[in-house]
Structure 1
Amino acid sequence: MHGSPDSITAIETPPDSDVEKDIKVKNLTSLESETSGKQKLCSWLNKNFKIEMTDGRVLIGVFLCTDRDGNIILGSCGEYLKPEDVGVMEEPRILGLVMVPGRHIVSIHLDDTGYSGETM
């Protein structure tokens, strides 16, 4: 029976042209690059981030996610005022869950101060 679901028809495909091979290699390289970027982001999940903003404030919290626009979501976040104005790191203002707009981010660092946003 022709066209039945049980019949299999072999279709010969022409060999890949050089252009098609180049496109496949570029796509593979792009995917590898994308994968390494995703791996780096995944390695930062649930780590403490220190974000300096354009207005001088410093936010320290747990990195939860980001988006294509560079916005970042921090959990258990604390806000510090400009450290140079105060002279020493003061007690944070507890914010909790925060979305930091990417356009206001000056720098991002993994934070090793041990602040977790929780009060003792």
Structure 2
Amino acid sequence: MATMIEENGPSTREQSEVSSSSSSSSSSQARQKLEGLLNKNMKIRMTDGRTLVGLFLCTDRDCNVILGSAQEFLKSTDTFSQGEPRVLGLAMIPGHHVVSIEVEADTLEDTQGFGATH
């Protein structure tokens, strides 16, 4: 059966089939990378200046992050003062408040594909 090419390129059905196959492979790669980060220590900086440190437990399609055994560090107003962390336990960080996420290097040693040196 011949493929029907319209004047402006392939039909929208053909485009959606191609994009869905490429997006499914990229989403499965992303899923594998996220699964490799499960139970790793993460440091998440938030828009209000707070920093949360804890174990990465899960995320969702809105980029919300759940940390276990989380501790909160407030933004220091004085560069010399180091405040005590506040223990939160289980914490949910809304995705729109996440500024940056760091994974501790020592927890990546057994994780492949994240630039860790062996």
Q: What is the TM-score when the length of structure 2 is the normalising length? A: 0.71
Count matched residues.
100
2:89 aligns to what?
96
The structure having more radius of gyration, on CA atoms, is 1
- Contact 1:60-1:111 within 8 A present in 2 as well: no
1:64 aligns to what?
57
- What amino acid maps onto 2:19 in structure 1? K
1:1-120 to 2 correspondence within 5 Å? Answer: 15=1, 17=3, 19=10, 23-83=16-76, 85-87=78-80, 89-112=82-105
Q: How far off is 1:16 after superposition? A: 5.9
- What amino acid maps onto 1:17 in structure 2? T
Q: How far off is 1:83 after superposition? A: 4.4
Unaligned runs of 5+ in 1: 1-14, 115-120
Q: Distance in 1 between matches of 2:104 and 2:65?
A: 15
Per-residue displacement from partner, 1:9-28 (whole Å, max 9, x unpaired)? Answer: xxxxxx36254665433322
94-103 or 80-89: which moved more?
80-89
Unaligned runs of 5+ in 2: 5-9, 108-118
Say what the alpha-carbon RMSD is for the aligned residues. 2.4
* Deviating 4+ runs (over 6 angstroms): none
